[in-house]
Amino acid sequence: MSAHDLNLESKRRRVSGRGIGKACSLLNQGFLISLFSALLMTIYPGKAAGQTFSLLQSPGGITGTLVGSDYENTFGDMNALGVGTPQTGLTVTALTTGAIYFSEFEVEFTGLPAGHDAKLTAYVSTNFNHPLALMVENCPSTGACTSSAGYSAMSTSAAAPSTVVASMGNTTTTVGIGIYLPDNDGASAFSGVDSAAVVTYTMTDLTTNHVDATATWTFNLAPANTVQDAVSLALATAPSGLAVSGTASPYTLAFGDVNGLGVGATVPTVAAAGGIIYTTPYYLEPEFSDFTSTVADLEVYVSTNFAHPTLLQLDDSAAAAGPYNAISTTVGTQTVMTTTAADRSTITRYLGLFVSLDNTATPFLGSDSATLTYTITVP
Alpha carbon distance, N-terminus to C-terminus of the chain: 86
Same domain, 222 and 296: no
Domain final residue, candidates 227, 244, 276? 227
Assign 50 a pLDDT band (cuts: 50, 70, 90): confident
Return the bridge partners of 231, or none: 288
The whole-number pLDDT of residue 49 equals 53
Q: Where are the beta strands (DSSP E) in 58-117?
A: 65-67, 70-72, 77-78, 91-94, 98-110
Domain that residue 345 falls in: 230-377
Write out pLDDT tens, residues 302-355: 999 999 999 999 999 999 999 999 999 999 999 999 999 999 999 999 999 999
Stretch 149-167: mean pLDDT: 98
Q: Is the pTM of this model over 0.85?
A: no
Q: Which of 42-51, 260-269, 300-309 has the lowest mean pLDDT?
A: 42-51
- Span 53-66, average pLDDT: 94
pLDDT at 246: 93
Q: How many helices (H) and strands (E) does the chain have?
A: 2, 24
**Tally of domains within the chain:** 3
What phi and psi, each to the nearest 5 degrees, are found at residue 77? -80, 135
* Together in a domain, 211 and 297: no
The answer on 141 and 70 residing in a single domain is yes
Check whether residue 152 and residue 61 sit in a common domain. yes
Q: Based on the fold, state whether residues 222 and 258 are members of the same structural domain.
A: no
234 and 253 inside one domain: yes
Domain match, 74 and 164 both: yes
Residue 39 pLDDT class (50, 70, 90 cuts): very low
201 with 326, same domain: the answer is no
Residue 292: partners with Cβ closer than 8 Å, 6 or more residues away: 185, 186, 187, 189
Q: Do 51 and 91 belong together in one domain?
A: yes
